[in-house]
Amino acid sequence: MKKRGLFVIPIILAFTAGAYAKEGLDKIEAYLRPDFTIQVNGKKVELQEPPLVYQNRTYLPISRIGELLHSDVVWEGSTKTIYVSNMTSAPPTSIPDMTEYETIEASYFQGMVTSFSGRQYPVLTMHDMQYEMYVRATDLERLGVDIEGLQLVKESKTEQWYVRYAEAKTLMTSLDLQYPMQSGPLVSGEFNSEKIKLLQNYRPLAVIEVRQPDGSIRYEQQPGFGTIYYIDRVQNEENMYIAFLQSGMRYYTLKIELAQRENSDGQLEWYVNSSQSIMIRDESNTQTR
């Protein structure tokens, strides 16, 4: 499996004159450079805080740069440590191409969280018809678990790979799953809190037939089309996400695109620019496609 790094950077921060003296820090003079242009992977990006130049070196806000590079940045004040991890957003690399495997049907899905690198990360779980719990293989890989050699099973509705929770615990003893505090579907691979909140609150529209008194049919859009179980950020496609949705006995993948616009106060805000659903399984007549 391709190695993905976790970097732990000890630093000292202070915010008041008293704290400077107490910590024995040096005061410096630096220059803010709002005229600098920043490009990430060939695309120009805007930073709320301009770059800072000190002794001919340019410094950028690590939280924003981490977001642009799809790496997670966590500040732990008790130890004055910044955790930078790109494992939790990296694409899976070792899901095998198997011709023989066990297929199971989920009784239900549940988004959980586990502590890792100073914060909590989402993990999608499911229970089979005998209520045995499984963990999604891609989430284990994002947490740095080498799944090679583990017994993988494929879930029939989503066609995603899972590992038995008991087996995953043998490789990652710290994999203690808890129910998340926030409501809404699991969002993986995304660390921007504004985007996560928007995705968790998003409810796709359903197109329904409304019969008129004259017998004609009019189509209306109504919110609340089904239940979204999880939303994954699409690798290498900016602001694109794939969700798994259930409506009645039909199952869909939902492609969601986010974009930015100015609100009434002139501030940029994220919104759902488009969404498109594709039915992947229909159990209403015990038929699938």
Question: What gap in Å lies between CA 1 and CA 141, rounded to an integer?
Answer: 9
Listed range (67-71, 104-108, 182-186) with the worst mean pLDDT:
67-71
* Contact status, residue 164 vs residue 151, Cβ threshold 8 Å: yes
Q: What percent of the chain lies above the pLDDT cut of 90?
A: 13
Residue 73: beta bridge partners? 84
What is the mean pLDDT of the segment spanning 260-284? 87
Question: What gap in Å lies between CA 240 and CA 259, rounded to an integer?
Answer: 9
Q: How many residues does the chain have?
A: 289
Digit-coded pLDDT (tens) for 162-212: 999 999 888 877 788 888 877 778 888 887 888 989 999 998 877 666 777
What is the mean pLDDT of the segment spanning 93-113? 77
pLDDT at 12 over 50: no
* Contact status, residue 257 vs residue 266, Cβ threshold 8 Å: no
What is the mean pLDDT of the segment spanning 264-283? 87
Q: What is the pTM of this model?
A: 0.62
- pLDDT at residue number 134: 95
Question: What gap in Å lies between CA 209 and CA 216, rounded to an integer?
Answer: 10
Which residues make Cβ contacts (< 8 Å) with residue 122, sequence separation at least 6? 111, 112, 113, 139, 180, 186, 187, 188
